Structure 1
Amino acid sequence: MTKGICELIWLKKLLTELGYEPTSTMNLFCDNKAAIAIAQNPVQHNRIKHVAVDRHFIKQKLEAKVIQFPFVKSEDQLVDILTKAISSRAFHDSLD
């Protein structure tokens, strides 16, 4: 999520330099409910100590309304066609 947020911030700065400043909150679609809950939960849990710095960065951007994390079902995640082996049905559905 942190890497995705950094890329979105970079894209927003690039668009601003090109003369088009986005005014709405950016969406980072995520198919992991646990990751969304951890990012939005202000309580630090023992099981996520290794991602504490990233979680604080994500939380900061959420509170500043720079990004939001709408949930998307795994089968509706369009980027999977570029990163995972998918069924032929899913491939043909994405062509439509």
Structure 2
Amino acid sequence: MAHGVCELLWLRRLLRDLGFEPQKPMDLYCDNKAAIAIAHNPVQHDRTKHVEVDRNFIKEKLDAKIVSFPFINSEYQLADVLTKAVSSSIFHNSLDKLGMCDIFART
């Protein structure tokens, strides 16, 4: 999530340099409810000590309303097709949404 926030900050700065100032928080869709809860919760737990620096960075950007973390079901997470094994129906559905096609298919 911290790397995603860094990429959003880079995109935000690029848009600002091009003359398009974002008027609302940029969305970083996340399919992990625990990660969203940790980002919003100011209380540190024993389980989250190893992510304290990243969590503070994320919380700072969240409080400044630069980013927001809407929840999205895993079946609608398009990046999953590129990062993990998914069922064939989700795979083909994601390929269609991404606009990818088989260049070796017969016409």
TM range (shorter): over 0.9
Q: Which runs of 4+ in 1 moved over 4 A?
A: none
Q: Which residue matches 1:77?
A: 77
Structure with larger Rg? 2
Q: Partners in 2 of 1:85 and 1:7 — Cα distance? A: 25
Helix, strand or coil at the partner of 1:19: coil
Q: Partners in 2 of 1:83 and 1:34 — Cα distance? A: 20
Q: Partners in 2 of 1:64 and 1:37 — Cα distance? A: 17
TM-score by length of 2: 0.83
- Larger RCO, structure (CA 8 Å, separation 6 or more): 1
Q: Which residue matches 1:30?
A: 30
Deviation digits for residues 11-47 of structure 1, max 9, x if unmatched?
A: 0101111122211111111111111111100111111
- Report how many residues are paired: 96
Asked whether 1:52 is paired with 2:63, we answer no
TM-score by length of 1: 0.92
RMSD over aligned Cα atoms: 1.2
Q: Partners in 2 of 1:35 and 1:28 — Cα distance? A: 12
Q: 5+ residue gaps in structure 2? A: 98-107
Q: Partners in 2 of 1:79 and 1:49 — Cα distance? A: 27
Q: Which residue matches 1:42?
A: 42
Q: Partners in 1 of 2:53 and 2:4 — Cα distance? A: 15
Between 1:8-17 and 1:79-88, the stretch displaced more is 79-88
Helix, strand or coil at the partner of 2:30: coil
